[in-house]
Structure 1
Amino acid sequence: MTSQETLNKEDEERGPEQADTLQPGLKNRHLSMIAIGGVIGAGLFIGSGSGIAAAGPAILISYALVGTMVVLVMRMLGEMAAANPASGSFSEYADRALGRWAGFSIGWLYWFFWVVVLAVEATAGAVILESWVPAVPQWAWALIVMVVLTATNLASVGSYGEFEFWFAGIKVVAIGAFVAIGLLAVFGLLPGSDNPGAGLAHLTDSGGFFPEGYGAVLTGVLMVVFSFMGSEIVTLAAGESSDPQRAVSKATNSVIWRIAVFYLGSIFVVLTLLPWNDKSITEDGSYIAALNSIGIPHAGQIMNVVVLTAVLSCLNSGLYTASRMAFSLGRRGDAPAPFARTDRRGVPRAAILSSVLFGFVAVFFNYKWPDTVFAFLLNSSGAVALFVWLVICCTQLRMRGIILREAPERLVVRMWLFPGLTWATIGMISFILVYMLFDDTAREQVLLSLLVAAIVIVIACWRERSRKASRKTSRTG
């Protein structure tokens, strides 16, 4: 008997109230804010300055290209998730459409990506908190934020949703206010603004719109693509809501304006308030530099609060996402059976604790061996976002036919111009991966990520072969 069959049998014996299932504890407002805030990662606040320095105003095209790709991927994922909401989302769909090896591989790679992110975000938050309260060492702050958010996730899915509602709310309000205030300043409508040079002319007055050449757009793509990771979280969370189909449909339909406002809108504001080559953009950060340019007092501290909120939001969602993927893998027999256990509140405690344990280990590596062991973890998980999006595209090509054959009425969200746009998206993602191989700064990242992916796929194929051999032996015996 497989671990999946064992779990199902024990669920029947325990009864529906005690079965190992996730509970619908997320409200519509939780999912709405998770969907909105999911596309606003800490990378937008921290990494945008480097992208602007590398490509100039043309970074807007880089953000638009990646944003379009993410919109298309989310549309594909939304089609599958609305038809069949699942805690493992794309991993479960890949399992069915492409084979057990695909679901196993992308599920574990995605889990690996998020447990490394836990260490990155915990450290980033600790740096900010230590600057405010230097009496507490950085490692202690990292421990504190990890423990607090672990407790939140262990309490109930509702407590996760409530924390994320407020974290995401602060990010949304902050970005919205930044765009509104910035546009007023750009068009000379902000009272008291002391940046008379602000305006659309900044898009071309310092070497033109492509000051670093047309190829810089692709360099910019590599620098900004990973700041979009997280938009798919809402499809995992939808499985714990009372109306998952409606939640997924709403989230995928709104992803266009979210990316347009939060990414393109905010970067446009920065580029019109300051020349792209202003040193303060890289020294202070793009958002702080923009706020300082129009005389907003305490801009640095304001943005530190917003960045800390974004970090905590990413940490909170990262722990949730990793644990739900581990739970899904456990339910399918691709992870230790305890991962598939839930308590009476529907919380997968073993999956959460195991995920945070690896997060703690990664934090330790970051402090002990930042340039060797942790650098390897960081680089070997760096391209996983692109792998996930590529698998989503390939899965959707197969899942459309499965849905139409089994339950066509569930196809309430449809990918546009199928299959043409699906193949075009596969081409875009593949091009980025190949281009990374020729980029000096990205080559190591993609090669190490491919190495780890290859190892996981080999393990997946070996497991599947062993499983088939075991079934064959049991039948003949």
Structure 2
Amino acid sequence: MRYTVKQGKKIAIHPHVQHHAKGTPGMTQGKLIFIGIASIVGAGFFLATGTIFNIAGPATLFGYLLAWLSVTTVFAALGEMAADEPGKGGSFRAYIGEYLGRGYSFVGGWVYWTAGVLIMSSEVTALGLFTQRWFPSVPLWLLSSLFSLLAVGLNWLGSEKFGQAESLFAVIKIVAVIGFIVAVLVVAGGMVFSGEYLPQTKAEWFPHGIKGLWSSIILIYFTFGGIIATGLAAGEMKEPEKIPGAFRRMVLLLLFLYLIPLTLVVLTGSTGSLSAQQSPFITVLSRLSVPYGDELLNGIMIAAAFSTMVAAMFASTRVLVSLAEDGDAPRKLLTKNKREVPTYALLASSGGLVFAIGISFFLPKEVYELLSTSAGINLVFLWMGILISHHIYRKKQRKIKGENHPMWGYPLRTLISCIIIVVVLVGIFLDRKHMISLGFTLALMILFTFCYQVMKRRKNTDKKTIRN
């Protein structure tokens, strides 16, 4: 482990970001925002919102506001630590390992890798569903296989090409959302501003009661799934002190990109005709008879989902490399090709797609929601770990050197966000399908904890053998 010194304090440089410490150009604030948008806005937003509206109805808007509040806190906590301790490169594992313990870092790393595989799997399933609109006779598993090969190929080209592609995809996503907003306002502005479809009663806002909203928020969290990947990208910032500002701009942009289009879905009276198999935005454009709008948006959603899938593959591969560098995964995963791509780690992460493609062959209609919920559960456990790590970090920083980039509203903001996350996790018990996903996640965490204990005992045994 290498170290750097900042304001008289010795800071560990996490292994997977050592190349940045050597003086590579780094990333600008604008590029970080674009990569963050590209990593977050994907099929979860464009497709999963159909399922969410079916469960929660127009109250989905309240769910997104609630989720956004806790998501901004996670971003702020991660941004503060990344700015104050740039040697850790925005790695959530580095913070969890230092402030909660190595065991939590081990389990957290493998949980995130699993979440990344699940995100890839859900995105590739969504890609198949989007593409089936144009090629209905082609089976879902075959379309998923083709997109998987394309994603592996793009990651194989290296991080520079990945960054360029993600910036382009981010622009496409932003233009798509703005285009949807403009198209709806031009075609149905009178309907929207008159509020004729605005829900008036509690029954209209909550068609399935509070229970419907409560059980759907875990899926809403899934649509913000790229936060940790964005944190890893922040480790490449050439001016780390600008990370918190970039994150603040990013979450404000996310509020605009998410809430306004979803509000238009409600104000056009489309919530009663949505399908879990089709994006609500395509449903709206079809109902309003916007010329070629639904087909154009479908193509953009394919690009958006592919982008998020590629980003999840990139982040999962890097986390797997980080695990291998720490001795928590086979050293073979550190092998790189001439483009500095960790080939075995990439293949191992991509191998999880085989599982998803296999499931999509047997359960083509159910697989997307199951994968999305499992990924969402994995992610919120990690977000809780980040918030707790940040709390411990702030207590230690106060004793050492004060606060350099303090998060606004701490500690009350952290406490409220943790309570929201716990309440959301309790809501999982209200839906049988979500219980399946929770059981899968808990089983994985128990398995990873067991593996860590076995590994720890072996290392202790080896140390005793060497001493003797």
Please give the range of the TM-score, normalised by the shorter of the 2 chains: 0.7 to 0.9
Taking the aligned partners of 1:369 and 1:289, their CA distance within structure 2 comes to 24
Matched with 1:16 is none
Matched with 2:164 is 162
Taking the aligned partners of 1:345 and 1:177, their CA distance within structure 2 comes to 37
Matched with 1:80 is 81
From 231, 241, 252, the counterpart of 1:235: 231
- 1:410-449 map, 5 Å: 412-449=404-441
Query: How far 1:99 moved relative to its partner?
Result: 0.8
**Partners of 1:26 and 1:158 within 8 A in 2:** no
Which segment drifts farther, 170-179 or 144-153? 144-153
Taking the aligned partners of 1:381 and 1:310, their CA distance within structure 2 comes to 18
Aligned letter for 1:68?
Answer: L
Taking the aligned partners of 1:286 and 1:378, their CA distance within structure 2 comes to 17
**Partners of 2:334 and 2:345 within 8 A in 1:** yes
**Partners of 2:34 and 2:167 within 8 A in 1:** yes
Matched with 1:266 is 261
Aligned letter for 1:251?
Answer: A
CA displacement, residues 71-95 of structure 1 (integer Å, 9 cap, x when unaligned): 1111111112222344671112111
Number of residues paired by the alignment? 449
- 1:119-138 map, 5 Å: 119-129=121-131, 131-132=133-134, 138=140
Give the 3-state SS of the residue equivalent to 1:292 in structure 2. helix
TM-score by length of 2: 0.85
Taking the aligned partners of 2:366 and 2:187, their CA distance within structure 1 comes to 45
Which segment drifts farther, 220-229 or 93-102? 220-229
Taking the aligned partners of 2:89 and 2:339, their CA distance within structure 1 comes to 16
Alignment CA distance shift 1:36-1:127 (3 Å): closer
Alignment CA distance shift 1:223-1:109 (3 Å): closer
1:312 equivalenced with 2:306 (yes/no): yes
1:288 equivalenced with 2:282 (yes/no): yes
Matched with 1:300 is 294
From 300, 303, 315, the counterpart of 1:321: 315
TM-score by length of 1: 0.83
**Partners of 2:35 and 2:167 within 8 A in 1:** yes
Aligned letter for 1:254?
Answer: R
Aligned letter for 2:333?
Answer: F
Query: How far 1:261 moved relative to its partner?
Result: 0.6
- 1:163-182 map, 5 Å: 163-182=165-184
Taking the aligned partners of 2:97 and 2:406, their CA distance within structure 1 comes to 21
Matched with 1:453 is 445
Aligned letter for 2:34?
Answer: M
**Partners of 1:341 and 1:348 within 8 A in 2:** yes
CA displacement, residues 43-89 of structure 1 (integer Å, 9 cap, x when unaligned): 21112223223333222111111111111111111112222344671
Alignment CA distance shift 1:128-1:371 (3 Å): closer
- 1:7-156 map, 5 Å: 22=19, 24=24, 27-28=27-28, 29-85=30-86, 86=88, 89-129=91-131, 131-132=133-134, 138-156=140-158
Alignment CA distance shift 1:466-1:114 (3 Å): same
Matched with 2:325 is 331
1:221 equivalenced with 2:213 (yes/no): no
Alignment CA distance shift 1:360-1:287 (3 Å): same
Q: CA RMSD in A?
A: 3.2
Query: How far 1:157 moved relative to its partner?
Result: 0.6
**Partners of 1:382 and 1:446 within 8 A in 2:** no
5+ long unaligned stretches in structure 2: 3-15
Aligned letter for 1:359?
Answer: L
Taking the aligned partners of 1:116 and 1:261, their CA distance within structure 2 comes to 27
Give the 3-state SS of the residue equivalent to 2:406 in structure 1. coil
Query: How far 1:325 moved relative to its partner?
Result: 0.5
**Partners of 1:39 and 1:229 within 8 A in 2:** yes
How many percent identity over aligned positions?
26
**Partners of 1:22 and 1:240 within 8 A in 2:** no
Taking the aligned partners of 1:239 and 1:298, their CA distance within structure 2 comes to 41
**Partners of 2:219 and 2:376 within 8 A in 1:** no
Aligned letter for 2:64?
Answer: Y
Aligned letter for 1:331?
Answer: E
